[in-house]
A and B are shown apart, each in its own frame.
Chain A
């Protein structure tokens, strides 16, 4: 069986340190839009890093769920990046971020309806056809739900997989955040999801924010993975599969690289402890 892979989000704060392959990290993931200019310094560093480290490309701006047509210029830049760095995974989000040509640069929530599913299927097909490869679609973190949503998110994703052949990127922090904010059963989420389609796992930190008499969890990616998310990760590994490549994300308020390496080691530690349990 192939060894499980552990990755880290490559951010410019760490790029120079990651130029040499002396960290125990199996792969690095970049936000696609940060590398759309092949003449930038960041791109230059990425090319050097890609000489020794596998790369995955994670898009945040394609706005697949928008009712606007797909931005062809954006797709072309994404394809140029993919063709140049040859990532082993390319992913995007179950979200939208633009309407009537105005971009909001956030992962905005979609209503889970047949109309939205048909649109999203069409967009994923279009993107996969243009890119000539499979996309993974990541579950979002949510702070609201729509009246008209009547398909559960895992079922929506399952139907998307079935119709397009795309894969899934399961963000366990997002499952926890949405579960808390919208009172979902997070374990039932896993049971409903087509786990065979999951090709990558994300883990990140959230920020609790008190609003009125409630605490809302914000998917902030600026701190360590919370204990509750580690527990959910452990549950997923134990009850479903422990072979899916797992990546730590950290997008602002950057600590020393060693802090992120420790987070990767925490994920490894959980998997190791589960292996020992299963061997005992």
Chain B
């Protein structure tokens, strides 16, 4: 019985029906008015979480329209975990589907960048440093089977618009004409002061780091990355972008060789 009552309550919160009214004792408020208070609290708490995660989106669309979008997102998708820090994934896709936002074609990618910034800020910074000396134990035969692992305090984001430029403009309130037909490759790195550094990297460097993030062996590197392997590897190690390496097993998995 309790389960059914909670389901009826949830359906009322989701605005699917108001059958919970039959369960409520007489009160000065109607069932609808009582439920509305709980619904307001529920929508408000999740909307505030979205606002904290997507500050750049909110700055672009304004507080009122953001609240409108957040409410629609909350009611459509809800939340499937008790931890509010994990709420909001997929908001970029939701925004993309909003016809009213067609005039801001860059907004979904801005949302994705906001999401990456928050996720990156929550990652651990490796306590040990990885150096070129750590690679010296790898034999020539093992090299193609070696997997370099992207350090966990970094993430990558590719965009088919000049996302970095637009993001910087929004941050500095400098609106200028931008040619949207440019691709961007972005690397995010959490700093020791908990801020997240955002930088553009070349398409080749991005492909190399993405290869590492995906746990693929060096033998499967794209040709343009292989051609620049030495500087790419040197740069990645110098900037602590690699946390460790492992060897891929014959079935494509990898096992750690150095942590």
Contacts and interface: CB of A to CB of B under 8 A. Distances in A.
Partners in one complex: yes
Interface of A: 33-34, 36-41, 44, 61-63, 66-67, 71, 73-74, 77, 96-106, 108-109, 111, 113, 115-116, 119, 143-149, 181-183, 211-212, 214, 216, 218, 252
B33 to A, nearest CB: 5
Interface stretch (B55-63, B95-103, B116-124, B143-151): B116-124
Contacts of A96: 6
A67 B23 contact: no
Interface in B18-51: 23-25, 27-29, 31, 33-35, 37-38, 41-42, 45-46, 48-49
Contacts of A39: 122-125
B194 to A, nearest CB: 4
Interface stretch (B78-86, B161-169, B180-188, B197-205): B78-86
A91 B28 CA distance: 32
A216 B48 CA distance: 23
Interface in B53-92: 78-85
B83 A104 contact: no
Query: Most chain-A CB neighbours within 10 Å: which of B2, B10, B24, B82?
Result: B82
A71 B83 CA distance: 10
Interface residues of B, number: 41
B138 interface: no
Contacts of A116: 2
A115 B82 contact: no
A40 B83 contact: no
Contacts of B10: 99-100, 102, 104
Contacts of A149: 25
A214 B85 contact: no
A207 to B, nearest CB: 11
Contact of A67 (B3, B41, B123): B3
B175 to A, nearest CB: 30
Interface of B: 1-3, 5-7, 9-10, 13, 23-25, 27-29, 31, 33-35, 37-38, 41-42, 45-46, 48-49, 78-85, 121-125, 194
B82 A146 contact: no
Contacts of A101: 80
B121 A41 contact: yes
B122 A61 contact: no
Nearest to B22: A147
B80 A33 contact: no
Contact of A108 (B38, B78, B80, B194): B38
A144 B28 CA distance: 9
Contacts of A216: 29, 33, 37
A36 B25 CA distance: 38
Contacts of A106: 38, 41-42, 45
A41 B123 CA distance: 11
Nearest to A105: B45
Given A40-B121, A111-B2, A147 B82 contact: no
The 4 tightest CB contacts between A and B, nearest first, are A61-B82, A144-B34, A41-B194, A67-B3
Nearest to B7: A99
B8 to A, nearest CB: 10
Nearest to A75: B82
Contacts of A44: 194
A181 B27 CA distance: 8
A148 B85 contact: no
22 contacts: A36-B83, A62-B82, A67-B3, A71-B81, A73-B81, A99-B3, A103-B80, A103-B81, A104-B13, A104-B79, A105-B79, A108-B9, A119-B2, A143-B34, A144-B31, A144-B35, A145-B25, A147-B25, A182-B27, A212-B29, A216-B33, A252-B48
A33 B83 contact: yes
Nearest to B40: A218
B82 A33 contact: yes
B5 A36 contact: no
Query: Most chain-B CB neighbours within 10 Å: which of A96, A97, A102, A106?
Result: A106
